[in-house]
């Protein structure tokens, strides 16, 4: 399974990325082949369970750095044409650059080898670019309840209060914040900073006010 993103910028620049869902990579990499900000211990997340003896670099940073470099001279508010292709369908949107960058980085982060973000791997497999907040709430909670179904079959336990989901988003806030610090040290372009700041805002909102967002779509199930 793969995702292809093509960004066509009004000045004629075209950025094309094909990202495989399953990406195999050595855990110990040659430091000379990657920028310093991708090293595991560089602004490493305090909740990261990885150790430098087994992972030399941050899996998310390694997956994302080529994409972020392509946007180094792209201003986040600039309108671009965004074409997304999956094995099942295609999407098109005319939007600001950070909307498309947020979508592809979200997919890359959730499908990376990061043990914390791997909890969102199911959503990444059924990737929906340009999702609204309501769509995100629907997909996140539905995915979590499906996970609870599989968990119940194995252990008999089931979390209907979304306590685990709220904790998951708290952990993701930490990851997003410290990954933003990596990007801040690596790039002067505002697109790269804005997209991670937006991801941080989304996870924060869902962590703090999930019930409110659920109430807003409750009428669909009356």
pTM: 0.85
Counting the structural domains of the chain, the total is: 1
- pLDDT at position 31: 86
Q: Hey, CA dihedral for 82, 205, 166, 216, is it positive or negative?
A: negative
- pLDDT at position 189: 45
- pLDDT at position 154: 96
Residues 136 and 144: beta-carbon distance below 8 Å: no
Question: Token pair for residue 117?
Answer: 């973000």
Per the structure, the complete domain to which residue 212 belongs is given by 2-221
pLDDT along the chain (222 residues), means of 10: 92 91 86 88 93 92 83 76 95 91 89 91 92 90 95 95 89 85 66 59 69 90 88
Listed residue (13, 216, 198) closest to 106, CA to CA: 198
State residue 203 phi and psi, 5-degree precision.
-65, -35
């Amino acid at each position: 399974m793969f995702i292809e993103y093509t960004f066509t910028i009004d000045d004629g620049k075209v950025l094309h990325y094909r990202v495989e869902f399953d990406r195999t990579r050595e855990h110990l990499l040659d430091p000379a082949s990657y920028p310093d900000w991708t090293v595991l211990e560089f602004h490493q997340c305090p909740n990261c369970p990885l150790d430098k003896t087994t992972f030399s670099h941050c899996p998310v940073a390694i997956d994302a750095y080529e994409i972020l470099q392509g946007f180094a001279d792209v201003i986040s508010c600039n309108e671009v044409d965004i074409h997304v292709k999956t094995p099942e369908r295609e999407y098109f949107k005319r939007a600001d650059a950070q909307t498309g960058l947020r979508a592809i980085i979200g997919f890359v982060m959730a499908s990376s080898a990061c043990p914390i973000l791997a909890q969102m791997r199911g959503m990444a497999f059924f990737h929906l670019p340009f999702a609204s907040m309501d769509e995100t709430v629907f997909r996140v909670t539905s995915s979590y309840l499906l996970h609870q179904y599989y968990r119940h079959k194995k252990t008999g336990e089931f979390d209907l209060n979304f306590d685990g989901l709220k904790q998951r988003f708290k952990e993701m806030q930490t990851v997003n914040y410290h990954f933003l610090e990596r990007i801040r040290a690596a790039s002067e372009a505002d697109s790269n900073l804005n997209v991670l700041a937006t991801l941080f805002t989304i996870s924060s909102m869902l962590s703090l006010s999930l019930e409110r967002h659920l109430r807003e779509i409750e009428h669909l199930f009356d």
